[in-house]
Structure 1
Amino acid sequence: MTTSRLPIYFIIATVAIDAMGIGLIMPVMPDLLREVDGGDLGDAAVWGGILATTFAAMQFLFGPIIGSLSDRFGRKPILVISLVIMAFDYVLMAVAGTIWLLLIGRIIGGITAATHATAAAYVADVSKPDEKAANFGLIGAGFGIGFVLGPVIGGVLAEFGTRAPFWAAAVLALANAAFGWYILRESVTDATRRAFDWKRANPFGAFKSIGSFPGLGALLTVFFFFQIANFVYPAVWAYYTVERFEWSPGMIGVSLAVYGLCFGLVQGFLVQPAINRFGHRRTVVIGLGLETVMLVVVAFITSGTLLLLLIPLNALGAIGLPALQGIMSRRVSNDAQGELQGVLTSVGSLSAILAPLIMTRSFAYFTASDTPIYAPGAPFLIAAVLMAISVVIFQMRKRASVAS
């Protein structure tokens, strides 16, 4: 381990711990929402979609602001402050007795959930141009590692009640904040520091500013459709596996852990070899194509055991996103990396505003007692169509705009 790589390794650990906090609470959400709201599984899925959409709406509005603030004040303080407030958010959700307190918690959490975008900006700061895609892959690997541990621990803690995982997530967020405060070295220097400007910080101004860089408009559109499609997993996975396979919270946790492990291995070890072999453009196409095929498979599968066995193949599609991020990062200047990551956060959040509503409501409609067609896998078919659209848009753009 060389000294120059230590910041990257720390960011991987930071994202892993953050992912553990997310993974901890996913297995209990169906039971928690039924406990608080008193409805059935379909009602819980709809409320889950509303909470996720609220969270995403706050990210959309505040993502560019947080990114621009990190360009001005540095990555370290933004990361640490976000994590401290995130810990408070988990505590609020741990004690919430009404759906409205859970909603307030998601508002607060969405505003401060800048960890991943700021971590990506940090990686862009310290990476050479030809290293960016691989290092973005390492961030994904860290996220996958966190998902290996988070859902398993969350599934175990769920046996002690639906609130236990939230307390654990709060402790992890605080520990991560303390770790970052003492270990992380600031990557924004006086040479790359950028003045904060509200015209760029609001999401619409940020889109206009980033969109002025050559070739980014089409790439942002691809990223948008990819994010909508891929959000089907956090939106309905827990509800879908309960409905189709009658999985328990523990089994949901195991399935997420298996996916997290495979996802981490793919992004940690296969992204750079794929780029070396196929180039950035073809790696994006291969990844998004695999995602499309596997979404169709998940939609129609009837065996929970087979679904688990196919997770490694499903995870192979994860090579596409880091390659796409690498292309985009190489197209903006060094003093705009935080702004770019803030815009990507807003694009992802805009898709997450739409996706939970589409996915959870389609799940509720096609699993209702009076539905004309029983099809719990319908959200995955919708996602497959959207993923295919992202491939078409990426292929149709001018080859001259591709950094490969």
Structure 2
Amino acid sequence: MTMRHEQLTFPASKKNAKKVIKVVLVQLGSPKSPKVSDVRSYLKEFLGDPRVVDINPTLWKIILNLFVIPFRPKRSAALYSRIWEGNEFPLTRITREFTHKVNELTPEHIEVEHAFLLCEPRVADVYAKWEKELDERMDPAQKLIVIPMFPQYSESTIASGIDFLGKLLGTKVRIPNFEVITNFHRLQAFIDNSARLINEKLKSEQIDDLVISFHGIPKRRVIYKKDPYYQHCFETFELIKDRVSEIDSHRIHFTFQSRFGSEEWLTPYTDDYVCELAKSGKKNIAVYCPAFVADCLETVDEIGTELQEEVEEFGTTIHAIPCLNDDQKWSEGFADYVETLCDKPNEVAQLEYEVEEEKYMDMPKVNMESEPLSDNAKKSLKIVFLTLFLDLVGFSIIFPLFPALAKYYLTVDADNFFLKAIFGSIDTLTNVGGAGEFSAIVLFGGALGALYSLLQFVAAPIWGTISDRIGRRPVLLISVFGLFVSYVLWAVAGNFTILILARFIGGIMGGNISTATAVVADVTTRKNRSKGMAIIGIAFALGFIIGPAMGGILSLFDLTKMYPALESIGINPFSMAAIVAGLLSLFNLVNLFNKFDETLPEEKRGKHETERSANPLKLFKPLPYEGVNLTNFGYFLFLLAFSGMEFTLTFLAAERLNYSSMDNAYMFIFIGFILAMVQGGYVRRKAHQVGERKMALQGLIAIIPGLVLIGLASSSWLVYAGLFFLAIGSSLVVPCLTSLVSMYSPSNHQGHVIGVFRSLGALARVFGPIIASLIYWRYNSAAPYFIGSVFLIIPIIMVAKLPKPSEAKADS
């Protein structure tokens, strides 16, 4: 290696050199500053990289933009502020200083520069500079070598950088001879200098144990995507351990830090492991992080500050060993490596250590407690998610329109037989006890909703049982087509009879939810079923966010005023909402036909006869599967109380707070947002870990204060406080009870059992509003909420008595 001692400026010192090779050291980068806005921009770009978070892109965009970006930057900014050096962060400063040293330590024909993926200077800036040099220099760079400064290869780091470089080069006409170094985890300079720094620390301090901590990645990537990162970490660990002489090898530990999200990451987790060491009496623990070559948030704050805070209660001190940073010997060794890469590439292997073959016998096997969803399951769930989301948007789009619908048809079709029957029944009910003066029109919405639920109740187990016999695909196609027809009829419902027919068909076809739920059960196992059911919950939540909002907005577009001639074919003031719902169903139908593959193999299709009858009491006949009956009846009683709240909520809001239809839409949007946030976050991440039964109990208990607060509400903030608890509670109860009933039932009867479960829910939605309305009118607006909160004690007791699901029953 040639070493020059004269003072040189960087990188102009080599501008006159011949046959230049340009070497670019690439780091991830840091936010521009610790301001929340800068951290938000940084995280949005970083977490938006599909290599970094490699789940379904559409689902992740929803989670990222609704649940991560609005909340995480503030917390991350507080952490970044703790390592802010006034003008920049340690990572960017150290990278620049290290690059300058390496540049001066290499021969004159090698130019070493640095770039970042997520901050300035970016790789594109360095490339633009090279292009400019092509035009200005007689001998521009003959070769470009890119070295990502991540010692161990991982898809989320190295592959991400390669993707970025590939996209950049794809836009260029002039492409240099270039090479990307994918790892240097066994580089002698890296290993030897790491061991040297560790030994120096161990000599200066009385250390009980040494923890070598690597950045974690999801286990799924190692097991299913064959990411070599774990093996590279193990090799680095073994090579460093063999060269650490100041502590016994059995006191050197191999861990992983910085996990993110709900998946299982590589274990053991550094924080948990170090806490256990501290509990066992270890008072001085040194931690070194060889996944990083420059100190950053993960080393300075996560290890140096947060980990220290976790073990303080045990009287333990964390001794964070700095990364290699711009250490002189490390800089010299890396410069040697760079020179060899440029001038003697065939000799690079001589600068690397080999790991003895028998060492691999000690490498812990990576296993997952909760297996991930298969590619087939992900594909099916994606389609089911879209199907249910579009169905629920179409279903809930009518919610804010109920009062206006009633006024319209009372005006244009007052003599309609069905309309007279509904309002005659309402008058009879509301005059009981003399409390019938408050807006019978609002009750009209409850009547239409009860009709839909009654038909769904009838249809759900039938569709489920049919799907058990002929498969899920044909049932979904038929039912979605039926929904499309129902919206077409609604669009031309110039009289109330056609509207009733549209709701009749829609209610019957809405029973397809049981089939969609059975699809989830088909493609998941007992251990990951709650993840699949959470997808259904998210679809419901988002549908209830978008649907009412669209209904409120589309109510502003009255086609009868824009095109009066259309009234002759039945177009009405609500046709725009119906047309949009119909188009969504049509898109759903085409998507199902083209992309959905059958999930129930012929050999698993049940041959049993349906026990369905016209008698709703038959639903309460016990099924021969342990746990199913308690779950079904607990769900029925829960929804009996909850649906009563749903349908009387608009009455209470109108009576006490003078809410309009749009105000009601805002309440549904709020509920849907909380549902999506909780189900997309807590339920999706923690259901299997906490346990579906326990989580369902948490939800039932959370609903009680929500009911009480709404019962007491005299202002909007009390209403929304109550809705907050109700939304949290229902977001826990519904997906967890759905998961439980599927776990208790055998696979070849999933459609039938879940159909009964859904049908009981629909039956509860028939009787719940009727009972709650009677209580409302007979007593007062608070009564159904107070009584409902006490009534919930019954399903709480029932769910508490549920047995632990048996895998054999679930998957037999």
Alignment correspondent of 1:65? 462
Call closer, same or farther: CA 1:181–1:41 in 2, change over 3 Å.
farther
Report the secondary structure of 2:629's partner residue: helix
Whether 1:248 and 2:660 are equivalent positions in the alignment is yes
Whether 1:267 and 2:666 are equivalent positions in the alignment is no
Whether 1:56 and 2:56 are equivalent positions in the alignment is no
Which structure carries more helix by proportion? 1
Alignment correspondent of 2:798? 393
1:26 Cα deviation after fit? 0.4
Alignment correspondent of 1:354? 767
Alignment correspondent of 1:129? 526
Whether 1:145 and 2:542 are equivalent positions in the alignment is yes
1:96 Cα deviation after fit? 2.9
Alignment correspondent of 1:343? 756
Alignment correspondent of 2:706? 294
> Is the deviation greater in 302-311 or in 149-158?
302-311
Partners in 2 of 1:205 and 1:242 — Cα distance? 35
1:342 Cα deviation after fit? 1.0
Alignment correspondent of 1:370? none
Whether 1:3 and 2:392 are equivalent positions in the alignment is no
Whether 1:24 and 2:397 are equivalent positions in the alignment is yes
Alignment correspondent of 2:155? none
Partners in 2 of 1:21 and 1:285 — Cα distance? 31
RMSD of the alignment, in Å? 2.6
Alignment correspondent of 1:190? 602
1:82 Cα deviation after fit? 0.9
Report the secondary structure of 2:585's partner residue: helix
CA contact (8 A) 1:19 1:143 kept: yes
CA contact (8 A) 1:19 1:146 kept: yes
CA contact (8 A) 1:69 1:196 kept: no
CA contact (8 A) 2:708 2:722 kept: no
Alignment correspondent of 2:783? 378
The letter of the residue matching 1:351 is: A
Alignment correspondent of 1:177? 589
CA contact (8 A) 2:471 2:598 kept: yes
Report the secondary structure of 2:397's partner residue: helix
The letter of the residue matching 2:739 is: G
Call closer, same or farther: CA 1:102–1:385 in 2, change over 3 Å.
farther
Call closer, same or farther: CA 1:47–1:251 in 2, change over 3 Å.
closer
Partners in 2 of 1:90 and 1:24 — Cα distance? 11
The letter of the residue matching 2:375 is: T
1:93 Cα deviation after fit? 2.9
Alignment correspondent of 2:174? none
Partners in 1 of 2:501 and 2:616 — Cα distance? 25
The letter of the residue matching 1:102 is: L
Report the secondary structure of 1:238's partner residue: helix
Whether 1:326 and 2:748 are equivalent positions in the alignment is no
Larger radius of gyration: 2
Partners in 2 of 1:328 and 1:145 — Cα distance? 23
Whether 1:403 and 2:800 are equivalent positions in the alignment is no
CA contact (8 A) 2:388 2:539 kept: yes
1:66 Cα deviation after fit? 0.7
Call closer, same or farther: CA 1:356–1:101 in 2, change over 3 Å.
farther
Partners in 2 of 1:202 and 1:71 — Cα distance? 20
Partners in 2 of 1:44 and 1:29 — Cα distance? 8
Call closer, same or farther: CA 1:265–1:210 in 2, change over 3 Å.
farther
The letter of the residue matching 1:402 is: K
Alignment correspondent of 1:369? none
1:109 aligned to 506, 510, 515, which one?
506
Partners in 2 of 1:159 and 1:359 — Cα distance? 31
Q: Which consecutive unaligned segments of at least 5 residues does structure 1 have? A: 367-372
Partners in 2 of 1:210 and 1:111 — Cα distance? 25
1:223 aligned to 635, 659, 662, which one?
635
Whether 1:36 and 2:448 are equivalent positions in the alignment is no
The letter of the residue matching 2:505 is: I
Instruction: Tell me the alpha carbon deviations over residues 8-52 of structure 1, each in whole angstroms, 9 at most, x when there is no partner.
Output: 122112211111112211011111113223688632233333322
1:206 Cα deviation after fit? 7.4
- TM-score normalized by the length of structure 1: 0.88
Instruction: Tell me the alpha carbon deviations over residues 348-370 of structure 1, each in whole angstroms, 9 at most, x when there is no partner.
Output: 1221221121233444x26xxxx
Aligned positions of 1:151-170 closer than 5 A: 151-161=548-558, 162-163=573-574, 164-170=576-582
Aligned positions of 1:357-368 closer than 5 A: 357-363=770-776, 365=777
1:313 Cα deviation after fit? 3.7
The letter of the residue matching 2:650 is: A
Partners in 2 of 1:113 and 1:100 — Cα distance? 20
Partners in 1 of 2:481 and 2:747 — Cα distance? 28
> Is the deviation greater in 257-266 or in 245-254?
245-254
The letter of the residue matching 2:760 is: V
Call closer, same or farther: CA 1:311–1:57 in 2, change over 3 Å.
closer
CA contact (8 A) 1:231 1:352 kept: yes
CA contact (8 A) 1:52 1:106 kept: no
CA contact (8 A) 1:200 1:209 kept: no
> Is the deviation greater in 2-11 or in 24-33?
2-11
CA contact (8 A) 1:262 1:311 kept: no
Partners in 2 of 1:199 and 1:313 — Cα distance? 38
- TM-score normalized by the length of structure 2: 0.46
1:332 Cα deviation after fit? 1.0
Aligned pairs, number: 393
1:253 Cα deviation after fit? 1.7
CA contact (8 A) 2:476 2:512 kept: yes
CA contact (8 A) 1:26 1:238 kept: no
Call closer, same or farther: CA 1:143–1:180 in 2, change over 3 Å.
same
Call closer, same or farther: CA 1:386–1:244 in 2, change over 3 Å.
same
Partners in 2 of 1:204 and 1:245 — Cα distance? 38
Report the secondary structure of 1:211's partner residue: coil
Partners in 2 of 1:114 and 1:23 — Cα distance? 15
Partners in 1 of 2:665 and 2:443 — Cα distance? 21
1:289 Cα deviation after fit? 0.7
The one of the two structures with greater contact order (alpha-carbon pairs below 8 A, sep at least 6) is 1
Partners in 2 of 1:146 and 1:353 — Cα distance? 21
1:223 Cα deviation after fit? 0.9
Whether 1:308 and 2:720 are equivalent positions in the alignment is yes
Call closer, same or farther: CA 1:181–1:340 in 2, change over 3 Å.
same
CA contact (8 A) 2:645 2:772 kept: no
Q: Identity rate of aligned residues, in percent?
A: 26
Call closer, same or farther: CA 1:245–1:393 in 2, change over 3 Å.
same
Call closer, same or farther: CA 1:208–1:285 in 2, change over 3 Å.
closer
Call closer, same or farther: CA 1:204–1:49 in 2, change over 3 Å.
closer
1:176 Cα deviation after fit? 1.2
Partners in 2 of 1:88 and 1:331 — Cα distance? 36
Partners in 2 of 1:177 and 1:264 — Cα distance? 25
1:208 Cα deviation after fit? 7.4
1:337 Cα deviation after fit? 0.7
Which structure carries more strand by proportion? 2
Partners in 1 of 2:726 and 2:716 — Cα distance? 14
